């Protein structure tokens, strides 16, 4: 009878070479994946550092009452918001004004009370932000605010806000533009309004009383009932 020949693959030099190549490739893939993961982590940490630095630079500039420096760290959306506030100070009537948050109302009334009509009519949002920062108005409560736990979504970053070391439910938003991170100050409006309302409630005073006290304290000038009415007529205003 014919004899059959059985080949033990485990002893075949060719099979052993293939196995060694396979494991080397697998190890190489794992190393590449690990290095890629490390590179991604480094990139995220670098972005986190950049976001934190922008916030700290902005905070420092505001606390040092340097308006021209602090405005460099704000998004276009932030400056558009200040344009809106200045225009509201020029043209907004009480019925529209009272639909806004207390923080927005107080800010608009402060603008209206701080400048004579001739100054106000020529002012824009960027100019007001710089002037108010130079005067120390923008620094209110900022020294008590910190950020942590930054999350990224493309060119947007979201940082949890701490107030006096305690966590809040609020987030600061940052946007990346031309490779640089900038703070969107509008993301902090709800927090500012909550702080303002809490302070007013603790003092047990009405909003109107707080307005008069705040404006007189900040400007040193008495407040009249005219503050609630715009100094200019505008066809596009909410009457």
Q: What pLDDT, on the 0 to 100 scale, is given for residue 7?
A: 45
In a domain, 10, yes or no: no
Count of domains observed in the chain: 1
Burial environment of residue 113 by CB neighbours within 10 A (0 to 12, 13 to 18, 19 or more): buried
Q: What pLDDT, on the 0 to 100 scale, is given for residue 235?
A: 52
Whether pLDDT at 84 is above 50? yes
| Main-chain phi, psi angles of 167, to 5 degrees | -65, 150
Edge-first strand listing for the sheet containing 145-153? 145-153, 156-163, 166-177, 180-184
Q: What is the mean pLDDT of residues 79-87?
A: 96
In a domain, 238, yes or no: no
Contact 75, 221 (CB under 8 A): no
In a domain, 37, yes or no: no
pLDDT one-digit tens code per residue, 151-160? 999 999 999 9
pLDDT one-digit tens code per residue, 170-200? 999 999 999 999 999 999 888 889 889 998 9
In a domain, 106, yes or no: yes
Q: What pLDDT, on the 0 to 100 scale, is given for residue 43?
A: 77
Which stretch of 37-41, 50-54, 64-68, 151-155 has the lowest confidence by average pLDDT? Answer: 37-41
User: What are the Cα distances from residue 151, in Å, to 93, 111, 162, 187?
Assistant: 40, 35, 15, 15
Instruction: Give helix 102-114 / helix 189-203 axis angle, nearest 10°.
Output: 90
The residue assigned the tokens 């402060």 is: 110
In a domain, 4, yes or no: no
Cα–Cα dist 198/91, whole Å: 29
Q: pLDDT above 70 covers what percent of the chain? A: 80
Token digits of residue 214: 């705040």
pLDDT one-digit tens code per residue, 196-215? 999 899 999 999 999 999 99
Which stretch of 31-35, 143-147, 155-159 has the lowest confidence by average pLDDT? Answer: 31-35
- Of the pLDDT bands very low, low, confident and very high (cuts 50, 70, 90), residue 5 is very low
In a domain, 223, yes or no: yes
In a domain, 19, yes or no: no
Whether pLDDT at 47 is above 60? yes
In a domain, 32, yes or no: no
Question: Domain range holding 207?
Answer: 46-228
Whether pLDDT at 22 is above 80? no
Cα–Cα dist 173/175, whole Å: 7
Q: What is the mean pLDDT of residues 128-140?
A: 85
């Amino acid at each position: 009878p014919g004899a059959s020949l059985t080949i033990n693959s485990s002893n075949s030099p060719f099979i052993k070479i293939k196995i060694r190549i396979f494991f080397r490739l697998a190890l190489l893939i794992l190393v590449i994946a690990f290095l890629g993961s490390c590179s991604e982590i480094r990139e995220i940490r670098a972005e986190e550092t950049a976001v934190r630095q922008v916030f700290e630079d902005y905070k420092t500039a505001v606390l040092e009452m340097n308006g021209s420096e602090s405005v460099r760290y704000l998004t276009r959306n932030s400056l558009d918001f200040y344009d809106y506030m200045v225009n509201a100070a020029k043209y907004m009537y009480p019925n529209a004004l009272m639909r806004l948050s207390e923080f927005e109302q107080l800010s608009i009334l402060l603008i209206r009370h701080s400048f004579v009509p001739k100054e106000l009519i020529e002012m824009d949002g960027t100019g007001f932000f710089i002037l108010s920062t130079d005067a120390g108005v923008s620094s209110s409560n900022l020294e008590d605010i910190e950020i942590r736990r930054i999350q990224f979504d493309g060119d947007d970053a979201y940082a949890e806000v701490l107030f006096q070391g305690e966590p809040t439910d609020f987030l600061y938003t940052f946007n990346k533009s031309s490779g640089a991170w900038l703070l969107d100050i509008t993301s902090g409006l709800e927090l500012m309004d909550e702080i303002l309302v809490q302070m007013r409630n603790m003092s047990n005073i009405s909003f109107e009383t707080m307005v008069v006290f705040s404006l007189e304290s900040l400007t040193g000038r008495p407040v009249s009932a005219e503050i609630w009415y715009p100094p200019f007529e505008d066809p596009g205003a909410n009457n």
